[in-house]
Chains A and B, each alone.
Chain A
Amino acid sequence: MDVIDTLAGIVPGSRMDAVRDGRKVARTHAQKSYEVLLTPAEPGDFTVAARFAIAAYVAGLHHGGVTADHYADGLATHGGAALAQAVAEAVAQTAAEGPRGAYPPGPLSAEDTPAPAFALSASVTQALGPKLVAGFDYAHYLVFHPRDAAAARFAPLTAAGWTEDTIVSLSQLASFLAFQIRVVAGLSVLAATP
């Protein structure tokens, strides 16, 4: 059983086990994606603790249920209880709804919706440190209003010590979570609706 099976409650030999087996390659590589993004052999200067912090934050923002619990537990293991507590507070302080944001000016501007604010308390900012705060700000926008993308969004990351390579890994991690959380949620409903 891989992590999606575990979180969606899919057990070997079940109806949903057969469904997942119908897309065996996706099943294998969704799991591999999880492994290389959360616990890579060479995490470089994007530590495993920081990866679980980003993941726990993104899953928390999604109201990710069992998936959010999984990453909160992983963060407590890899980053410690204090960091896990700070991330839980960050989720509560920046909760919002999505997708939102603004289109390039033109006919679609009528569909624009305001971006939710990102603001952390002084104590959470202190506990996370500048690199994770910049990463959370970026992840918050990716989760809730990715259409507000702009080249200017990278300057705060770079200033906080994120390199071009780790910016790509950060983007992949937050975006992969957006996938994994929804697969778990969707397959859980399908499993319960025979």
Chain B
Amino acid sequence: MPDTAVPNVFTRAQIGWVPFVEPLSEAELTPHHIAALIDAARAKSEYFRLLARDPDALEHRTRTDKDIFYNPEAGAPRADRELAAAAVSRFNGCIYCCSVHARFAATYAKREADVDRLLADGVGADLGERWNAIVAASVALTAIPMTFGPEHVTRLRATGMDDLAISDIIQAAAFFNWANRLMLSLGEASADRPPNGASR
């Protein structure tokens, strides 16, 4: 089953994903499964049809995800939330997740060179103080044992972030510790399959 085109570098390019565990077929999806997909178009994605094997877990995970990343009301700009997702993915080693969120971070921030530096050099790359603070906080929350402390909050605050913005960084980093583990464990990145439409 594993194919010969597993990407072995971090990239902003579109790559695909191949499941290790058999997804449900589109024909097997019941109304319960379809409701859990939230977006009907996700029925085309092998990743989401695999997660649909536990439809309630999928539904509540998706709704949590969308509010953390897409809610535009105040808090951290989308680019900062995507940077946290990309940094966690880089640190955990999820090449697929990192590709998606590196693209989003680069697009929303218009900072392709900084994002590429994160991909190439890792979470120690110098991205300027605000992004360095976001990456450091994301890494401190991701490491086991966790090392996130008051100094990370103080540093984020010094870049102009309020409580909700800092909470957005915490939740975005925490969420990618969920997403990376599903994407890494249930299948693998593939350069010779089309993108599967899954972003997390």
Taking beta carbons and an 8 Å cutoff, which residues of A are in contact with B? 15-16, 18-20, 22-26, 28-30, 32-33, 36-37, 40, 61-63, 96-99, 101, 103-108, 111, 141-144, 146-147, 149-151, 153-154, 164-165, 167-169, 171-176, 178-180, 182-183, 185-187, 189-190, 192-193
Contacts and interface: CB of A to CB of B under 8 A. Distances in A.
Q: Majority SS of interface residues in chain B?
A: helix
A190 B8 contact: no
A180 B141 CA distance: 11
B36 to A, nearest CB: 10
Given A29-B63, A153-B185, A183-B174, A189 B94 contact: no
Contacts of B196: none
A175 B93 contact: no
Contacts of B127: none
B167 A190 contact: yes
Nearest to B120: A107
A180 B10 CA distance: 27
B160 interface: no
A107 B92 contact: no
B9 A106 contact: yes
B171 A103 contact: no
B67 interface: yes
Interface residues of B, number: 66
A155 B93 CA distance: 23
A24 B153 CA distance: 22
B149 interface: yes
Nearest to B170: A186
B168 to A, nearest CB: 7
B173 interface: yes
Nearest to A141: B185
B11 to A, nearest CB: 11
Interface in B124-146: 141-146
Nearest to A170: B54
A105 B8 contact: yes
B80 interface: no
B184 A63 contact: no
B6 interface: yes
Contact of A29 (B50, B54, B60): B60
A189 B153 contact: yes
A117 B6 CA distance: 26
A141 B56 CA distance: 25
B21 A178 contact: no
A164 B21 contact: yes
A25 B66 contact: yes
Q: Across the A-B interface, give the 10 residue pairs with the lowest CB-CB distance, nearest first.
A: A106-B8, A147-B93, A186-B170, A182-B174, A25-B67, A26-B67, A179-B178, A175-B181, A36-B56, A29-B63
